[in-house]
Structure 1
Amino acid sequence: MTQRQVLTLATSTPLTTLDADKMTKFGRLNNTIEGLYQTNRDGQTQLALAKRVQLNATKTTYTFKLWQDSRWSNGDTITAQDFVYAWRRALAPQTKAPEADLFLGIKNARQILAGDLPATQLGVHAKGRFTLVVTLDHPMVELPQRLAYPIFGPQNQRVATKWGAKYATQPKYQVYAGPFMVSSHGNTAKHWHLIPNPYYWDRKHVYLTRINVNVYHNQAQEWQDYQQGRLDEVRLQSKTDVKSAETQTTYTARPYSKMILITYRHHSSTSIPSQLLRQTTTRLAISHAVNRQALGRNTYGKSSLPAQGIVPAGLSRGLRGTTDFAASQPDQTALTYQPKVARQQWRQALKKVHRHRITLTLSYLDTTHGRLVATQLQKQLMTTLPGLTVRLKQRAQHLNGHSSPLNGDLNLNTQQAQYADPLAMLALFTTTNSANTTRWHNRDYDRLVAQASNATAFNTQRWRTLLKADGILMREQGVTPLFQPASTYLMNPHLNGVRFNTVGTLSNFKEAYFAR
């Protein structure tokens, strides 16, 4: 290892909150959080703050025994009550974390989110200081994968109570259970940094002495700092940058379990665009008009993968670990580029609303990649579908990952899997899920997703049930998956030991180090 173990990274957003219940993206802060489970290098879950777990016969109660020597960054002992407090707080009406739907399946979570029960009725309680009992509404074989996500980490109730409204608003008002903590000193609007947590249980395997995070609003400046050695990685944003960097030894493409897709606004009964988009034929025409391979290649680069269904490649494999769910998805023909079929279906759909021409708005997130995908998609749709005019419509990206409501007839959106199971994507499009902004619904689809969610084991029957659900979503094009992007970077070749995840949170620097 080199003598200097300081990592410097870039971000586009300043540090505005350290409250896990207010974030939709954890980014670098993932390295300050740890829960009952963590994701290992193979993408599988392993116990972290829990040393063992026991299930009851019906697989509806998990009893976790915590390590008794795990401590917060201020020296406090991490207890079962810290988990109880954190989970109840995430669902409480005054908090209601953006990703609170992940708690569905834990006893009473649905009723709590609906406002019918108080958060104290959530199926989690402490049995002594170091025993945590989690009770479910039904078996959830994917629960360990879910619990590795940062929102299920503990929160220090004593610290939260002490600081009240100030809690987690600044580094000095927060404590941490992960390998790093946010320093309380030297932070500005353009810079913040992490230092090792002195009480972390596995601190002997934490090698970096500091992680600097610098805020950039100018990509040219970011490039210059990387080239002059002031940054250890730079993300490649434009198609030109990706193409010029692909042959360099420091180039890396990191696939991630997320999908760029089109959602549709069709819940208005009087709007002609809504009447058009309510037709399955219309949505299939749009899907067949998209050349997904060209769209991904011309925006994110050749490492991006055309969608085979709603579930991204590499997210989940079969019982013997050989079959990727993405490759097994049925009705992939609904996603193939067939311009002749698209034109035929489009004319048929227009005829039903008594139109020869129509204008639709395409909403996109105001980012470099968002604009690029929108303009490329606009060109493809207008070239292939006769009588269609597509007008682009921006929507803003807010702090902490929140974005403005979807406001177009067609909406470019990105959905990511927070845990390694097909259900992580398929459950998003059930009738009652808050992520289902398109309001598409299908009773058979809901039934199949519920059936898979209630399964007691990862078996062939569950696998087939999930495939059937995916087939319904694709045949009806409830949403239209486009491609799975890969984030591309140039990276300091001396940096080793970083764990780049394909699901959940993106990167883990716990065991990272620099070597000559």
Structure 2
Amino acid sequence: MKHWIIPFLIILVGGLAGCTRITTVNSTSDSKGVMAKHQTLNLATGTPLTTLDTDKMAQFGRLNNTIEGLYQTNRDGQAQLALAQRVKVNAAKTTYTFTLWKDSYWSNGDLITAQNFVYAWRRALDPRTKAPDADLFRGIRHAKQILAGQLPASQLGVQAQGRFKLIVHLDHPMAELPQRLAYPLFGPQNQRIAKKFGKKYATKPEYQVYAGPFMVSSHGDTQHHWHMVPNPHYWDRKHVYLTRINVNVYRSQAQAWRDYRAGKLDEVRLLTKKSVKAYEYKNSYTARPYSRMILISYRRDGPNAVHNQLLAQRQAHLAISHAINRQALGQDTYGNASLPAQGIVPAGLSRGVRGTADFAASQPNQKTLKYQPQLAQREWRHALSQVGLTKVTLTLSYHEALNSQSLAKKLQHQLTKTLPGLTIKLKARDWKFDDDRSAPLAGDLNLATQRAQYADPLSMLSLYTSTSTANTGHWRNFDYDDLVAQASNAPAFNARRWKTLLKADGILMQHQGVTPLFQPASTYLVNPHLNGVQFNTVGTQSNFKEAYFVK
């Protein structure tokens, strides 16, 4: 029986040892009666297509529509089974046995097997691959040692038992594992195709195959344009309605605006406060909150020893945090839809047991993020006196990307206006996808964006442990590490795990290991005839699988 006839299954790892609790959810109903004749979607991007290798992507962008794994994220932001038909969990909750569907195929017609997952995951951890998000494998058996170079990737705790059974062994229970496995990095890769093309693999559309609802066409690809078409062998292809997705590279926002107005684009980003204000009441306007946080990281090992000593102090971090008017900063740069930070975890990412409370609103030590200029001045003077200074010039590094320069200038103004003796020099840095995750810090203060890759507070809190490669400021607190480890080892979502995560966030905010600023919302004008798009708040942003145009 073809498995698209069966309702989707949402797996909830419950309180019964060694088994799962399953509920069914009906798939979205078809709306073919109101569909337009032409189903071509035109989108804009600012970056050309550089790789089709899922192990080498730091951000998946539109390409997430070509990838599918054991789980996928549903419209409620939860993980539901996709290429896996069912999963069994042992009593200790350290072994997951996935049974794959026997009729799922790659875009070239090859069968998708358990070995495709084994190959993909081990390849992602291979140091020759340099997967930007390889830290996400931590918790799977031996991943930690492989990342440290102590074991080869072949020792990762994942194995294929026959063609359709995948066994995943964990170092410890991981309550958030289904949410984590919905991230595209955990999708399969076709080993036969990778070996066939060798170094050419995934460098061009003709050297890659796809497991998701769409595939990148091997025809008409240029430096300024690429497009996706439906995957003819996708298991749920009857619910794929768009016949083509054009992705055009724009270097000029003005040209993107002209093309949107001319009907050549179905979506355009609103980048200025003035634009948002002009269109926020139009039916084509949409604000999409996404689980990311704009923050300041502090360099503690830069070339200036005195600056390092200053920024190693908790008082200096608190002074900077208390000198910032987050409400004004976010609204002046990203518009009214941006939310001032309440902690490091973004609003809407996770709710408590039985959905009682949003984690962001429950975060402790929110007073460390409150605008208190007089307190900030006292803290700053004390921090300067500890290193024998009355004034200092620090660098503030920011991406050469849209909105970043404006944000840096306004932050510079707020800090130097409030903190006595502080001068800030702005320092632009080239924009790269992986800068915020692992690149060395370029300034004394560094504007960065961190995003949650799965729907759990741990996805943000784990970034600032002592061993995380994303912790580029090298902040260390052993109590914090221990709390994150406790939450990582928890066998289930429960009140105890929730309190542990809140306590960890409280320590990070108490010390301002990093200083969260605000949670930006992306604002767009979208063709009002486009329906059925799944906009995610975590992981990857837009899923066009069931999207369609109405008449």
For structure 2, the residue ranges without an aligned partner over 5 or more in a row are 1-34
Residue identity over aligned pairs, in percent, reads 70
- Provide the secondary structure at the position in 2 that maps to 1:488: strand
> For 2:227 and 2:403, how far apart are their aligned partners in 1?
27
Deviations 1:181-229 (A, max 9, x none): 0000011111000000000000000000000000000111000000010
> For 1:322 and 1:267, how far apart are their aligned partners in 2?
42
Structure 1 residue 448: deviation in Å?
0.3
Answering whether residue 457 of structure 2 is matched by residue 441 of structure 1, we say no
Counterpart pick for 1:314 among 338, 348, 351: 348
Structure 1 residue 351: deviation in Å?
1.1
Amino acid at match of 1:512: A
* Equivalent residues of 2:330, 2:336 under 8 A apart: yes
Amino acid at match of 1:23: M
Answering whether residue 367 of structure 2 is matched by residue 333 of structure 1, we say yes
Structure 2 equivalent of residue 480 of structure 1 = 515
Deviations 1:46-98 (A, max 9, x none): 00000100000100000000000000000000000000000000001211301
Structure 1 equivalent of residue 540 of structure 2 = 505
> For 1:237 and 1:270, how far apart are their aligned partners in 2?
36
> For 2:261 and 2:304, how far apart are their aligned partners in 1?
56
> For 2:514 and 2:383, how far apart are their aligned partners in 1?
17
Structure 1 residue 402: deviation in Å?
4.8
Amino acid at match of 1:419: Y
> For 1:32 and 1:268, how far apart are their aligned partners in 2?
41
Structure 1 residue 432: deviation in Å?
0.3
Answering whether residue 374 of structure 2 is matched by residue 350 of structure 1, we say no
Structure 2 equivalent of residue 413 of structure 1 = 448
Answering whether residue 207 of structure 2 is matched by residue 168 of structure 1, we say no
Amino acid at match of 1:76: D
For structure 1, the residue ranges without an aligned partner over 5 or more in a row are none
> For 1:155 and 1:44, how far apart are their aligned partners in 2?
24
Go from structure 1 to structure 2 and tell me whether the alpha carbon gap of 1:270 and 1:378 turns closer, same or farther (over 3 Å shift).
closer
> For 1:89 and 1:370, how far apart are their aligned partners in 2?
34
- Provide the secondary structure at the position in 1 that maps to 2:277: helix
Answering whether residue 280 of structure 2 is matched by residue 229 of structure 1, we say no
Counterpart pick for 1:204 among 235, 238, 244: 238
Deviations 1:148-168 (A, max 9, x none): 000000000000010000000
Q: Greater CA deviation, 299-308 or 260-269? A: 260-269
TM-score (norm 2): 0.93
Answering whether residue 233 of structure 2 is matched by residue 187 of structure 1, we say no
> For 1:368 and 1:239, how far apart are their aligned partners in 2?
12
Counterpart pick for 2:285 among 226, 232, 251: 251
Structure 1 equivalent of residue 127 of structure 2 = 93
- Provide the secondary structure at the position in 2 that maps to 1:211: strand
Structure 1 equivalent of residue 247 of structure 2 = 213
Structure 1 residue 322: deviation in Å?
2.3
Amino acid at match of 1:482: L
Structure 2 equivalent of residue 31 of structure 1 = 65
> For 2:281 and 2:393, how far apart are their aligned partners in 1?
42
Answering whether residue 423 of structure 2 is matched by residue 368 of structure 1, we say no
* Equivalent residues of 1:269, 1:275 under 8 A apart: no
Structure 1 equivalent of residue 488 of structure 2 = 453
> For 1:318 and 1:181, how far apart are their aligned partners in 2?
38
> For 1:88 and 1:320, how far apart are their aligned partners in 2?
36
* Equivalent residues of 1:32, 1:176 under 8 A apart: yes
Paired residues in the alignment total: 515
Counterpart pick for 1:68 among 102, 126, 137: 102
> For 2:454 and 2:215, how far apart are their aligned partners in 1?
24
Answering whether residue 317 of structure 2 is matched by residue 283 of structure 1, we say yes
Go from structure 1 to structure 2 and tell me whether the alpha carbon gap of 1:268 and 1:191 turns closer, same or farther (over 3 Å shift).
closer
Structure 1 residue 270: deviation in Å?
6.0
TM-score (norm 1): 0.99
* Equivalent residues of 1:125, 1:134 under 8 A apart: yes
Structure 2 equivalent of residue 496 of structure 1 = 531
Amino acid at match of 1:388: L
Structure 1 equivalent of residue 139 of structure 2 = 105
Answering whether residue 183 of structure 2 is matched by residue 149 of structure 1, we say yes
Structure 2 equivalent of residue 432 of structure 1 = 467
Runs of 4+, deviation exceeding 6 Å: none
Answering whether residue 106 of structure 2 is matched by residue 43 of structure 1, we say no
